[in-house]
Amino acid sequence: MPDMKVVLDGLGFPEDPRWHDGALWFSDMDKKAVLKREHSGRVATILSVEGIPSGLGWLPNGKLVVVSMSDRRLLQLEPSGARELADLSAMASFRCNDMVIDDTGRAYVGTFGFDFEALRPFSPGEIILVPPDGSPSIVADGLAFPNGLAITPDKKTLIVSETLAERLTAFEIAADGSLGKRRVWAHLAGMTPDGISLDAAGAVWVASPVSSAVFRVQEGGKILEKVAVSNQAYACRLGGPGGRTLYMATSYPLPSLFALRSLPVPQTQAGPPLIGQILAVEVEVPGAGFP
């Protein structure tokens, strides 16, 4: 594996990196902002989101859509600022989380299911479909903390991380966007799969916080590659001009996540929590599918 480089430092809790229009976009949950890093290295704040930003995506018309976690809404960025695209509070069992949007504008949004940070009793989450025209609907439920989402290039399969079930789960996508037959795409014993990114060989890069690593996994669960990081890896995305740069969002440990897995919380250096970073390595197989 080539040398790792620090793309951005001094962040809070970076999540959901996306490569779009020649730039790296991401949410910083601690700073409650969506940011963009251009090829020149310049970083700009695109939008402040008081409800905590998470998943990012773009509609066919090029407009940015952002998940606002705590108030369970989708926001659409207009020249005049953000407006509400969809209110999911009546459907989402708890906070909204990651999102993927296909090239027709269909958005799939996952939910926590329960307040894991406060160590409330476990309750499964759901995936909500927000069509470009029409009302949102729950298209999958009974998921153990649905997290990272990806859609295959043929738009026939949606893959989702179930963080608290140690697995990636796949759904067949029907013509109307609803989700049908589900199957275990990969069982990942000992991991906490979070953000994911598909590549052109059909493998999935998976960020696993409790592993302090990002893994390349093939269907069935075989580990093909591993990239270790010094902190916790929460998300990853293939991007860059050739699609072969693996961007990894890392930050400090979440004590609740380790407590739910009955694991000791990693010791950090004295002083403030470790600062969030976005790291990058070059890989052989480019990205594919959505996002």
Note the pLDDT of residue 133.
Answer: 85
Compute the 3-state secondary structure of the chain and give helix, strand, coil in percent, each to the nearest 5: 5, 50, 45
Q: Domain residues of the chain, as ranges?
A: 5-282
The residues, any chain, with a CB within 8 Å of residue 257's CB and separated by 6 or more, are 116, 163, 192, 209, 210
With a cut of 70, which residues of the chain have pLDDT below it? 1-2, 268-274
* pTM attached to this predicted model: 0.96
Pick the CATH number of 5-282 from 2.40.170.20, 3.20.20.140, 2.120.10.30, 2.60.40.10: 2.120.10.30
Q: In the 3-class helix/strand/coil scheme, how is 44-92 assigned residue by residue? A: EEEEECCCCEEEEEECCCCCEEEEECCCCEEEEEECCEEEEEEECCCCC
What integer pLDDT is reported at residue 274 of this predicted model? 56
- Identify the pLDDT of residue 1: 60
Query: Quick one: pLDDT at residue 272?
Result: 52
pLDDT of residue 271: 45
pLDDT attached to residue 189: 96
pLDDT, position 237: 98
31 neighbors 25 (Cβ within 8 angstroms)? no
